[in-house]
A and B are shown apart, each in its own frame.
Chain A
Amino acid sequence: MTTLLLIEQILNGLQFGVMLFLMAAGLTLIFGVMGLINLAHGSLYMVGAFAAAAVAEATGSFLLALIASLIAAAAAGAIIELVVIRRLYDRDHLDQVLATFALILIFSEGTRWLFGSFPLFLDIPDALAGPVILPGGIQYPAYRLLIIAIGLLIAFGLFQLIARTRIGIQIRAGESDREMIAALGVDISRLYTIVFALGAALAGLAGALVGAIQSVQVGMGEPVLILAFVVIVIGGIGSIKGALVGALLVGLTDTLGGVLLPGFFGTFMEPSAATAVGSSLASMSIYILMAGVLLFKPTGLYGGA
């Protein structure tokens, strides 16, 4: 394996990681602040992608499409929080899982009803369509670099929001003692709606960004949701920092595992068997990583006690 290829694969891992971070950040905030397991987070990712595809189709502007994905997902998030989720805070996790699973089905069927079962297409703007040459002669798609940049910017913004703003203080307070901040006069239900909408918007943005390089289709959110859960378990539930570190770890492990393991087995096995063993082991690698982390840190890397 050449150094160039390795660097390119590390960039791929980073790009995958920051995408997972956008999903995991919302999930971990919602779980941390409200104690709610939201299986429908993947549906919000899908809503964002579909909104972006529809707006891009109508206006031809990618920027407007991204804005639409944020607004549509935040609105969808706020609505389900007000209508459904609000009734679930006091229930146990099984009820939450059941109700949010029902939301997945409703969103999937609703989207199918509106847009049909065929995948939609969302094109990358022409200016970002080709590759760029990085120092060292690495060719890398410009759009993927942009995704990495946007992801890191949002991570930075979220840290600032949580650490330095009034709403951030309320979120942190909500994580540690719900009753107390309600007693101090903070409108807790408004806070919950805001946090939920914020998480939803991030998921929607991730959906739109990824939709442009993959395909926009019903059910696109669920595979990502599973990975996002792995990320927050690794990072520690409720921790944004944990979500970032966990997401990058999972992204890099998944990408590099898929590339390096078949090569590793290829040194002593015949090629087709090596590919088979290597790729099956690679798809397990993130779960092995998760098990390893939990073994030493049962609450995750940055989880509370």
Chain B
Amino acid sequence: MQFKSLILAAGLAALASAGVADGHGGTVKVGMITTLSGGGAGLGIDVRDGFMLAAKMAGNDNLEVVIEDDQRKPEIAVQLADKMIQSEKVDVMTGIIWSNLAMAVVPAATAQGKFYISPNAGPSALAGKGCHPLYFNVAWQNDNLHEAAGAYATDAGHKNTFILAPNYPAGQDALTGFKRMYGGELAGEIYTKLGQTDYAAEIAQIRASGADSVFFFLPGGMGISFLKQYAGSGVDLPVVGPAFSFDQGILQAVGDAALGVKNTSQWNKDLDNPTNKAFVEAFQAEYGRLPSLYASQGFDAANLLLSAMAKADVKDADAFRAALAAADFDSVRGDFKFGTNQHPVQDFYVREVIKEGDVFTNKIISASLTDHVDAYASECSY
């Protein structure tokens, strides 16, 4: 009996020293659940590629990443999360694009003591009352880009805007965010189905509404369909949107129909800082295409994680959490810091869609909101 406990003690000591021998961190196993197939695939692939690029550039062998495809289905995301937590025994989770999937996975994962670093989805429910010490969002709170768009629409003198978004948590956050900062009247407000591809009925309503402008939030393939159909409909009201509706993955497919459209973002490839320049260059060299904002968010998520790994051991949750909260890394957005609810406090810009040679892309034309804190931060207490 004594012999047995001796062996056990020796084993534990060996384990403990192994952790120390690796320096601070030891190995960190990351479970990435993201959308790699279907209409939302472009977003997940960009987050993954951005994340893996940062990991490759850092060359840190202690970072191990397991990647799975959630197919934009909440039930699959939940299964994958269970698998990653129970059999893969990951330390940190990340990757989810869609807010409805995040709502299905994140609360359960953090309740089981896993860190979650969101590279995209930022539902209001997780920023306010439902915030959690182990949940970090490196991208934005969902409302933010839409708030910036609302502020821009007001500045641009739009008085009667028609707004539409898909009916899921991020879509509701989008319209709430837009309305928070928009001063004019609404000509109409529509929620569409998530994944809808035909917008003829909505465009007819826009035409009949007497609106002077249109605000829409339709990420991924939904945005391509909407813009192409909008261009063919003969309705020529000015369009405003968040960057998701005009990101790098969408623009080539939309083509000329998007030229000149104003959209709001926390990042663009022409942001002038050394990290961003290096990121844009390395991304093009590695993947042969321009990075999107999703890729920039994946890149920042990995660098945030790497910065925490350099300071603390993931097994020491308090120290690791403090290291993450310090956000001591070079972001592609320039200065980066977390607010009290572990969501970014950051600047937002207005971009315009332009054509560089044959490639459609965005250019920053003005600042929209500076050091913006999301509206739910005050409701969060740990």
The residues of A with any CB-CB pair to B shorter than 8 Å are 1-2, 4-5, 8-9, 12, 15-16, 108, 112, 117-121, 123-124, 129-131, 139, 141-144, 210, 213-215, 217-220, 223, 255, 258-259, 262, 271-272, 275-276, 279-280, 283
Contacts and interface: CB of A to CB of B under 8 A. Distances in A.
A12, A124, A210, most chain B CB atoms within 10 A: A12
Nearest to B190: A275
B110 interface: no
Given A15-B200, A121-B253, A214 B192 contact: no
Contacts of A143: 232
B221 A215 contact: yes
A280 B41 CA distance: 25
Contacts of A108: 37
B229 interface: yes
B17 interface: no
Interface in B94-115: none
A7 to B, nearest CB: 10
A233 to B, nearest CB: 21
Closest A-B pairs by Cβ, 8 of them:
A131-B234, A121-B253, A12-B200, A117-B41, A215-B224, A5-B208, A214-B225, A214-B197
A9 B167 contact: no
B167, B201, B231, most chain A CB atoms within 10 A: B201
A279 B191 contact: yes
Nearest to A129: B232
B36 A117 contact: yes
A258 B221 contact: no
B148 to A, nearest CB: 21
Interface string B27-59: 000000000111101100100000000000000
Contact of A214 (B41, B198, B255): B198
A294 to B, nearest CB: 24
B234 A141 contact: yes
Contacts of B233: 131, 139, 141
Given A258-B201, A259-B205, A112 B37 contact: yes
A16 to B, nearest CB: 6
Contacts of B252: 121
Interface of B is mostly: helix
Given A118-B249, A279-B167, A5 B205 contact: yes
Interface in B217-250: 221, 224-225, 228-229, 231-234, 249
Contacts of A142: 232
A15 B229 CA distance: 13
Contacts of A271: 189
Interface in B153-174: 167
Contacts of A129: 231-232
Given A9-B204, A119-B253, A213-B198, A279 B232 contact: no
Contact of B41 (A1, A118, A210, A272): A118
B200 A119 contact: no
Contacts of B74: none
B221 A119 contact: yes
B97 to A, nearest CB: 13
B311 interface: no
Contact of A139 (B38, B207, B249, B254): B207
A215 B225 contact: yes
B130 interface: no
A213 B232 contact: yes
Given A121-B253, A141-B234, A220 B191 contact: no
A219 B37 contact: yes
A247 to B, nearest CB: 14
Nearest to B45: A117
Nearest to A131: B234
Given A121-B255, A279-B192, A283-B193, A218 B225 contact: no
Nearest to B200: A12
A217 B233 CA distance: 22
B195 interface: yes
A4 B201 CA distance: 13
Contact of B167 (A112, A217, A276): A276
Contacts of B229: 141, 213-214
Given A124-B232, A214-B225, 20 more contacts: A12-B201, A112-B37, A117-B45, A118-B45, A119-B253, A121-B252, A121-B254, A129-B232, A130-B234, A139-B207, A141-B200, A141-B229, A141-B232, A141-B234, A214-B224, A215-B225, A215-B228, A217-B221, A219-B38, A219-B39
A215 to B, nearest CB: 4
Nearest to A259: B201
Given A121-B252, A123-B255, A16 B198 contact: yes
B255 A217 contact: no
A111 to B, nearest CB: 11
Contacts of B36: 117
Contacts of A139: 207, 233-234
A262 B190 contact: yes
Contacts of A259: 201, 204-205
Given A213-B228, A217-B221, A5 B37 contact: no
